[in-house]
Amino acid sequence: MQVKKKSTFDRLSLTRFAWLSIVAAGVTIFMKMSAYLMTDSVGLLSDAIESFVNLAGALMAHVGSCRPTG
């Protein structure tokens, strides 16, 4: 059974999507924190803090897509 190596295109697209996820998580955190500061809503603060989990996941996806194989 042969193992198919990932092509350079696959790795680049994974890295690109990982960066997109990091940026999206950062923007989401910024928007939710801004909304919290304007409204003093504890629900928005909780949601903003929870968004850090999404950021951590995006960072792990980026590290995983950059690791050399083989």
Three-class DSSP labels, the chain: CCCCCCCHHHHHHHHHHHHHHHHHHHHHHHHHHHHHHHHCCHHHHHHHHHHHHHHHHHHHHHHHHHCCCC
Whether 3 is covered by a domain: the verdict is no
Q: Which residue range forms the structural domain that includes residue 21?
A: 10-66
Each residue's pLDDT tens digit, 22-31: 999 999 999 9
Q: What's the pTM value of the predicted model, to 2 decimals?
A: 0.76
Within-domain flag for 46:
yes
The answer as to whether 4 is a domain residue is: no
Q: State the total domains in the chain.
A: 1
Structure-token pair, residue 50 = 């929870």
Task: Please return the burial class of 22, using the count of CB atoms within 10 Å of its CB with bins 0-12, 13-18 and 19+.
Answer: middle
The answer to whether residue 2 sits within a structural domain is no
* Mean of the per-residue pLDDT values of the chain: 86
- Could you give the CA distance from residue 30 to residue 48 in angstroms, rounded to a whole number? 8
Q: Which of 10-14, 16-20, 35-39, 43-47 has the lowest mean pLDDT?
A: 10-14
Does residue 5 fall inside a structural domain? no
Residue 59 is assigned to a structural domain of this protein: yes
